[in-house]
Amino acid sequence: MNPMTADNLRSAYGGESQAHMRYKAWGTKAKEEGFENVARLFNAISYAEEVHATNHFKALKDEKGDFSVNSGAVFGLGSTSENLQGAIDGENFEVEQMYPAYLKVAEMQNEKSAIRSMKFAIEAEKTHSRLFSKAKEAVDQGKDIKIGDVHVCEICGYTVEGELPEKCPICGVKEDKFKTFNK
């Protein structure tokens, strides 16, 4: 793999791994504050970030060894409203800045496995940003978010609440490839 794309994938892997972890911590906090559905949403999206991290790691399977990895990450364990703002900011950074830049380079270098795992991620992050924004609106009114079951595609990390889709709109797999986080 071209070193620049490999570097970008490692950076994205580091970012996804850290997002996976902070959403778990923020989910615990939401539960403590009594926002059960927000907690469930954090857990579901934490799993989606695991899908992204794992896809990037697999795309890097032959790039073996120790590396110094530089990643953007959001910190702070505040109120659930603050944590949701951090989540929205992190998702939007990935959608607007990080993945578009990395994808341009990967496309220029024709790195197919990197393009695939990054495209899955950027499309899924858009669904995360929307869900977190909806959660923040509710929490800022002192309410829990009203959502049904949350379904996460195990292949691309697409996340949706309510009915289980017949087919993933991002990667095309069938409904049996979704992991459901129910009440």
Instruction: Find the angle CA(154)-CA(155)-CA(158) to the nearest 5 degrees.
Output: 75
Q: Does residue 125 interact with Fe ion by CB under 5 A?
A: yes
Rg (CA), the chain: 16
Which of 48, 74, 95, 121 forms a contact with a second copy (CB under 8 A)?
Answer: 74
Closest alpha carbon to 153 in 144, 140, 166, 141? 166
Binding segment for a second copy among 88-96, 108-116, 129-137, 165-173 (CB under 8 A)? 88-96
Reduced to 3 states (helix: H, G, I; strand: E, B; else coil), residue 174 is: strand
What is the footprint of Fe ion within residues 138-157 (CB under 5 A)? 153, 155-156
Alpha-carbon distance 155 to 108, whole Å? 25
Closest CB to Fe ion among residues 130, 142 = 130
If one asks whether residue 79 binds a second copy (CB under 8 A), the answer comes out as: no
- Candidates 2, 7, 81, 82; binder of a second copy (CB under 8 A) is 82
Can you name the residues that pair with 100 across neighbouring β-strands? none
The option from Fe ion, a second copy, none interacting with 33 (CB < 5 to 8 A, set by class) reads none
Interface stretch with Fe ion, choices 3-11, 63-71, 128-136, 138-146 (CB under 5 A): 128-136
Our finding on whether 146 is near a second copy (CB under 8 A) is: no
Task: Name which of 120, 104, 100, 4 is nearest 58 in CA terms.
Answer: 120
Q: Are 120 and 152 in contact (CB under 8 A)?
A: no
What are the structure tokens assigned to 150, written together? 């949350």
- Determine, following the binding rule CB under 5 A, whether residue 103 of this chain makes contact with Fe ion: no
Task: Kindly state whether residue 3 participates in binding a second copy, applying the rule CB under 8 A.
Answer: no
Smaller CB separation from Fe ion, 143 or 167: 167
